[in-house]
Chains A and B, each alone.
Chain A
């Protein structure tokens, strides 16, 4: 428990690589600890120490100074331990000891976590497991960084992660294909996987605009909304009106391309005014564009249903065969026992195929002149124009193709939920998608997958943190803290890996040998 809050200190700890306190200087050590305590109190005081509740009518502030005290104490003791044993290590403690300690903690943490999850159902075990895991990983990484630095080699973490990328992609694909049939996988997990794949697809779509073409787009959710509303409106109102009710089972497959086209058109509409904008200005206009779409959806009541949204959106059919429990249904047709899970699994495979199409097209595009022009545009727009590349068209195609995939994903979202409302398309969604792209490493496809799993997984994890409830005071709700945790995680990752998880650029063509390009050389685009 004493180690628990230390991960929040990692940023500071790494910044102070050469410790400010020389060994044996008690006075400066005391001042350092005092400062640490002050900072910790300033952070935990308002966030943890006060909670506003409204039992009856008015707001009442409740104080939890006890908790704050324990947290601050843990931070201070943790820093003291760091000073004594990590930064000003006595001679008998070698980096290898720290490394072993880290490995040991990871092992114990994993064991405790597994025991807590599957054997004892004891939240305390989970808590110890997770904290052990985090602290151990940190010890391990920091000490091996140190040993590597002594040898003058690059960080072993980077070393360890990057060659895995090749196999990681194949492994993830195989797991993804087999997932619904792995024993023990229930509806909840498939639902979560669908959600993750939706974000993977959105991330891949946005990656074209942000990662390849280097155009910062803060309003990507607008295209997601266009796709979702296109399907919702066409399938509930216009298709039955134009073609009669018989079309409904086919609606999803007919609207899907239309939704992509519509979203691509909106991509062009956004693209034109922002052609000359760069950096901050581009970000602001795209942000505004996202909000405009949402506000139109709220206020154009006659067309979009306003804040009420659109409900009863037709669920997808198995190419015309509905997933119903009758003789025309999917189960009866294929001679299976009816189960509501069949529809979920079908949805899962639909989004998997859509996402893979996105990936395939993006990978192909990267090897085509248009993809190379996007990357060249990110590197140097003026040089592009001097080589006869039409930068207007290049930017517009990036916006349009990125938007198109957003539209596909939106269409899928609408059919999965059966209900859309403007609530689903707030700026936060754009921010999450962008966070996934940035976290994954700009321009990297596999990075987006890992980042989407991590971000969405972390979000969902916070719903299930029973163990935190057990160790925290009464009334503690972990879900309220998830944005805080995501924020902290973002800061840490930007501190450690500012270019995202994958920091190598894969060349699109090679003569003799494929060598990855280090991210230090790759431009991040004009905004």
Chain B
């Protein structure tokens, strides 16, 4: 009798838990596409059309890529082109498509003590901030934005460290909030900035046409050859939806406070 109790309990446990194990498609994405509400705008038509539910796990790009490598999600929507291409080259990712872009901006406090707006480009701006040792808040979480920011510091020939350089380890909105509370400089994608514009005091100081601040988003399916359990077909269907003229049009028309956050670029 006693011998049967444990297996029976295990059975009950797994019966109870497996009832919740979902059949939905798992999409890991960078915080900027989720927190700005874009995905909640463009995904419902897909879910209706295909009857596939999409579960969004909103993490940094670095974490999303890790999740793809481990096969814990079915596809990812991120913004770190080099890391994305490496994922495909290593055979973990498949069917990469660029779907949209916007650009990064550097925000700073009123009065612009490091004279970022007067700098000739973003590298110069970062050098000015470093020279002034004015507080700069960084994600520090290996996200797409974080990778981009670190690469810009490298391009500027600097390695930021010291009490003025703060790494939060949190999502974009949280980091922005911290920067705002501290009256600091911060770099972020335009979408997250526009979405939060009314809740902060910091203002944008960089030029929109700076090539170094270009921010392309790509979508990649997890390669079923490495992780046979992934829902590759559904993932490809979702990618096809994202690059379809209909969805691309929706991305272009998505507005927050009357501003366009993302620019579709899957169709040449």
Q: Do A and B come from one complex?
A: no
